[in-house]
Chains A and B, each alone.
Chain A
Amino acid sequence: MSTKEIRPKGENFVWFTGMGLALGLLMVFALLAVIFVNGITVFWPKEIVEVRLKEGSDAEIQGAEAFAGYISIDRHVNDIRPGKVEQKRELQFFVGNKDVYGFMYKFVDYDQIESMGPTPGIIELERLEYGDAIGYPVSLTLKDGTKISVGDENFEKEFEEFFKAAQDRRKEIRHLEKKVIGRINHKMTQLQVKKRTLERKHGDEAAQAMSSYIKYDDEIAELQVDYDKLAAEAKALRQEQHDIQFTYRLATGQEQSLPMGELTGYYYPDRLGFFGKITFFVSHLWDFVSENPREANTEGGIFPAIFGTFVMTLLMSIAVMPFGVLAAIYLREYAKQGAFVRAIRIAINNLAGVPSIVYGVFGLGFFVYVLGGTIDDLFFSSRLPTPTFGTGGILWAALTLALMTVPVVVVATEEALSAVPRGMREASLACGASKWQTIQRIVIPAAAPGMLTGLVLAMARGAGEVAPLMLVGVVKLAPALPIDGIFPYVHLERKFMHLGFHIYDLGFQSPDSEAAKPMVFATTLLLIVLVVLLNLSAIIIRNKLKKRYKVGAF
């Protein structure tokens, strides 16, 4: 018997279908792997080498034939130089020291390199500005001019102490400026608004004569005194940050000095053991998720973007869930099934296919200008012409996305409702329950897992959406979080940062795209993790409900 005879007909198609799945999985896993590997290695410490160039090489930096850095890209490219046919190997180095060199990354042809060697004692400095600096420590200069040079046995200990003191001072400054002064500012603004309300109501002169107006003025003056005192305090602290200078020598020879207050972190790359590397990784990852961004978002962390995405998605869920579920209940349970309901259902399904930017435009036109403008006129007229709700904000963004994702919730809820067994409804009705009681006590609990599936899908779509947000409230850098300690704690009118927009901004709007690249990968990884976490929590809730309402017997 030949193999041809024993093989059942149609088996080839199994292979075809399997190939379809394999291709899909391959693409998904490749994408995830690229993002994961690139995103996670951002925080892993790199090995720094000292590169010595061949004599007369055109790759030198400011005349020096040696520099230090780590390899960020190692690749083979087609040689475009005349007369060359083979591929050439080229390396991209992260060299840092942007303040001196004017760039942070440098491509060098491999055949230009004489040698790459170790860099004992080199230090990598993480700074508030200009990114990292790489160099050899030279000395510390104290305020009174005393120098502690690197040969001194106390040097490293002193260095660490000064660094810690500067860190503490920075925290203090931030606390003063953001929290304490922020609160005073907030109070003063409110008093100003009250003053203006009086002026609007009674006319400028009459208002200025009123006792409450004068009281407001006094209060403002008092606050101003506090403000001046605190501002002076902060200024003094800032001044202190510059008292101690750290001098280091670049591998290219220049000596540079940096005030300790500019330093946010440092490490000796050649001294990191395995555990040192792990500590480095964890602390940098933590900084990334917990810090505010710096340097046009290319440095620092992305905490406000995580927080903004999270709050926005939460608000969207709160808005979309009741809205979609109620619509679906009416459509499925009460509306007379006919051509009209079918047409509505088709319209809802079509809404899911409308490009998201259209929702953005609608959100801007309707929510921001019409609704927000009306709210401003009615409740915040004393602040006009500065808009409060009449400009993009997290509430309008959440509502716009809720509108966009409502079809998902409606469709999923309708399916869940129709999957509730008829027997259960009949049992309830036969017990003397009204239709609404049946829906409320039997149908909705039984359909809850399906409704949550809809919410999971809506959240996944909403959290990853960027285009409409650009029109209704997302910003590159938000001055304050949408939830904070100042009354009324939740500020729905505030603009916010969003991970998706952050990725776009870093990748395409950043002045230094090379410097932003690692951040793009890390942010993308984080967005994916956030979406997965949101989904996972919804799935866990759903499974718990499913277990509770498991219907084994229908």
Chain B
Amino acid sequence: MVETNKAATSPAISSDSTDPQYIQVKDNYGFWYGDTKVLHDLNMDIPKKKVTAFIGPSGCGKSTLLRNFNRMNDLVEGTHHSGDIVIGGRSIYDPKLEVISLRKRIGMVFQKYNPFPKTIYENIVYSLRIAGRSKKSHLDDVVERSLRGAALWDEVKDRVHDSALGLSGGQMQRLCIARAIANEPEVLLMDEPCSALDPIATGKIEELIHTLKDEYTIVIVTHNMQQATRVSDYTAFFYLGKLIEYNDTETVFMNPKEEQTEAYVSGRFG
């Protein structure tokens, strides 16, 4: 088992990445919900400005790991961990680090689009407003930049002051992406961002992910194997809380080293 983990620690990173160890999950990272251990002995490095996909059957712990990157699991009572996660050179469990400032560095997009019941404009500037920034010209700039970044500007530029709840599902999810990048985070976490969307909206989001990776380090959890092949540079396969295989996407899908991976990606289980 340890062998497997070691093998999976780091994929053969192509030389164009500036920082192949941008997110480090290390020291045999483990995570518990109460007495149940849900993540086992993880060690992995996620490169900067690349798209890394987490795949695996339901309950394999991929979402839990993703939500640990910005410590969203702190909301669940009775969790604890072993090992460490380092993002951009700093441990996220550093007691001197404020969770709030960590979350400002790490944007997150959820499975189900969850815009606030406010206007499109207010949705995007939310993170700035809570940080106490309210200069109008600055906010206007951020709104335009974020909406352009999320490929939504052309569709909504005339109605940014309308309610966000009047948008279509795909637009809402792109709005959530715009909201997540408004703060110019370093990492963008996506937890099955397309699972509630139709194929056309999904296509637009995937396109968007392609352009976003020039700016952000993206980690995406997906159940859709085709999606993983389409959008990601690297793929990690999890099973029962363990990292089974982690490599560049092509290798994982075309030439997996592990039998379990092959069985999963070829659709024989999961």
On A, residues with C-beta under 8 Å from B are 421, 423-424, 426-434, 437, 441-442, 445-446, 548-554
Rounded to whole angstroms, the CA-CA distance of A535 and B108 in the bound complex is: 42
Interfacial chain A residues near B108, Cβ < 8 Å: 426, 430
A442–B129 CA distance with the chains assembled, in angstroms: 13
Inter-chain residue pair count (beta carbon < 8 A): 76
Q: Does B26 contact A (CB under 8 A)?
A: no
Whether B180 pairs with A430 at a CB distance below 8 angstroms is yes
List 9 A–B pairs whose Cβ atoms lie within 8 Å, in order of A's numbering.
A427-B176, A427-B179, A428-B126, A430-B110, A431-B179, A441-B130, A446-B117, A551-B165, A554-B114
B200 within 8 A of A: no
| Complex contact B130–A427 (CB within 8 A) | no
Chain B interface, DSSP helix/strand/loop, else mixed = helix
Rounded to whole angstroms, the CA-CA distance of A423 and B176 in the bound complex is 12
Interface check B239, CB cutoff 8 A = no
- Report B-chain residues with C-beta under 8 Å of the C-beta of A432: 100-101, 103-104, 127, 130-131, 183
Of A434, A548, A550, the contact of B100 (CB 8 Å cutoff): A434
Shortest Cβ gap from A545 to chain B (Å): 10
Are B103's CB and A430's CB within 8 A?
A: yes
Contacts of A424 in B (CB 8 A): 114, 116-117
Contacts of B107 in A (CB 8 A): 430
Give the number of residues in B that approach A within 8 Å (Cβ atoms): 29
Q: Which residues of A contact B129 (CB under 8 A)?
A: 441
Residues in B lying within 8 Å of A, measured CB to CB: 70, 72, 75, 100-101, 103-104, 107-108, 110, 112-117, 126-127, 129-131, 163, 165, 169, 172, 176, 179-180, 183
Q: How far is the CA of A441 from the CA of B117 in the complex (A)?
A: 10
Pick the contact of B114 from A427, A445, A548, A550 — CB < 8 Å?
A: A427
Give the distance to chain A from B182, nearest Cβ to Cβ, in Å.
Answer: 8
CB distance from A436 to the nearest CB of B (A): 10
Inter-chain contact B100/A428, CB cutoff 8 Å: no
Find chain A residues with CB under 8 A from B103 CB: 429-432
The chain B residue sitting closest to A549, CB to CB, is: B117
* Distance A516 CA – B101 CA, assembled complex (angstroms): 71
Determine which of B165, B169, B183 lies in contact with A550 in the assembled complex, contact meaning CB atoms within 8 Å.
B165
A429 to B102, CA, bound (A): 11
Question: B111 — nearest CB in chain A belongs to which residue?
Answer: A423
Q: Tell me whether B114 and A426 are in contact (CB under 8 A).
A: yes
In whole Å, how far is B103's beta carbon from the nearest beta carbon of chain A?
A: 5
- Closest B residue to A548 using CB positions: B117
- Contact between A431 and B117, CB atoms less than 8 A apart: no
- Please indicate the chain B residues that have their CB under 8 angstroms from the CB of A433 in the complex: 100, 126-127, 130
Task: Give Cα A31 to B175, complex, Å.
Answer: 54
Q: Which residue of A lies closest to B71 (CB)?
A: A429
| Interfacial chain B residues near A427, Cβ < 8 Å | 110, 114-116, 176, 179
Are the CB atoms of B127 and A426 closer together than 8 Å? no
What residues on A are CB-neighbors of B180 within 8 Å? 430-431
Residue of B nearest to A427 (CB): B114
Residues of chain B lying within 8 A (CB to CB) of residue A421: 114
